[in-house]
Amino acid sequence: MTPEPVSTHGSAGSGVSASGGGRGARRIRRIVTTRRGGVSAAPYDSFNLGGGVGDSRQAVAANRARLARAAGLPAASVVWMRQVHGTAVTAVGATTADELAADQPEADGIVTVTTGLALGVLVADCVPMLAGDPVAGVIAAVHAGRRGAAAGIALRMLTAMFESGAGVEDVEVLLGPAICGRCYEVPVEMRDEVEVALPGSACRTDRGTPGLDLRAGLARQLRSAGVAGVAIDPRCTFTDPELFSHRRAAPTGRFAGLIWMPTDAARTT
């Protein structure tokens, strides 16, 4: 039996949130994958969704197709980014979905108002951010590593969402699995530098050395910007063998966060 390739979670703090509090809210779906359920060989075993990490193209394509199928989406409706540890957040739309599948936007964040278009982010220690405004019908997927987080990509994401019609009071953000502060050891100068840019991220590791808790810093920044709905999936990529971790073992694969607004036809109850 093939394990279910997609883990979904229903409670606050992780995975899927069936967002919405009335007012004709749009349904938003979020999923976070694990290593299980794919076809890639070691060290990408097995559900590697990242291209350009050394895995075979065929395996990545098969895994991406499997993810789309599991999510009930046409494969061409999933938009992936060419992530470059920058701060660009790009709006994408329905008419370009096929082009985007062939030519991915070079960005670390993507935003859409298009129902049925799924936005994917790939990580293996960096923070995947999945954000949605169910009232305005705006979603975003963002790759926030140390550099992007310190350079303000969370605020760039909010700005791009507001430009697409989102209201800060309705935005809900999930900070997905990432390397935690107890495991993410960095030089003291780096920790201090990031703390200045992203207050609340400096911490100590389990070894008593300088560390960074990027999700703590991102959560504080988002809340300071007025976002009340910030949830954190507490899983640590470094210690959880179900997830890919670049720091634990490179080369390795990438798992994904995916967010979309289902079309009526795709709705299940």
Smallest separation, CB 123 to Zn ion (Å):
14
Angle at 255 between CA 85 and CA 76, to 5 degrees: 90
Report, in angstroms and rounded to the nearest whole number, the Rg of the chain calculated over CA atoms.
17
**Any alpha helices (H) in 5-142, and if so which ranges?**
57-71, 97-102
Smallest separation, CB 218 to Zn ion (Å):
16
Task: Name the residue nearer to Zn ion (CB basis): 238 or 260.
Answer: 238
Q: Which residue has the tokens 């073992």?
A: 249
- Interacting residue ranges for Zn ion, rule: CB under 5 A: 180, 182-183, 236, 238-239
Smallest separation, CB 106 to Zn ion (Å):
30
Smallest separation, CB 264 to Zn ion (Å):
41
Q: Do residues 133 and 172 lie in contact, with contact meaning Cβ atoms separated by under 8 Å?
A: yes
* Interacting residues of 215 by C-beta distance below 8 A, sequence separation 6+: 127, 175, 178, 180, 232
Task: Name the residue nearer to Zn ion (CB basis): 104 or 239.
Answer: 239
Smallest separation, CB 248 to Zn ion (Å):
10
Smallest separation, CB 201 to Zn ion (Å):
14
Angle at 144 between CA 188 and CA 266, to 5 degrees: 155
Task: Name the residue nearer to Zn ion (CB basis): 221 or 245.
Answer: 245
Task: Name the residue nearer to Zn ion (CB basis): 142 or 180.
Answer: 180
Which pair of tokens denotes residue 236? 């640590």
- CA 208 from chain centre, in angstroms, equals 29
Q: Do residues 266 and 116 lie in contact, with contact meaning Cβ atoms separated by under 8 Å?
A: yes
Task: Name the residue nearer to Zn ion (CB basis): 59 or 203.
Answer: 203
Task: Name the residue nearer to Zn ion (CB basis): 180 or 214.
Answer: 180
CA–CA dist 50, 55 (Å, integer): 8
User: How many CB atoms are closer than 10 A to CB 103?
Assistant: 10
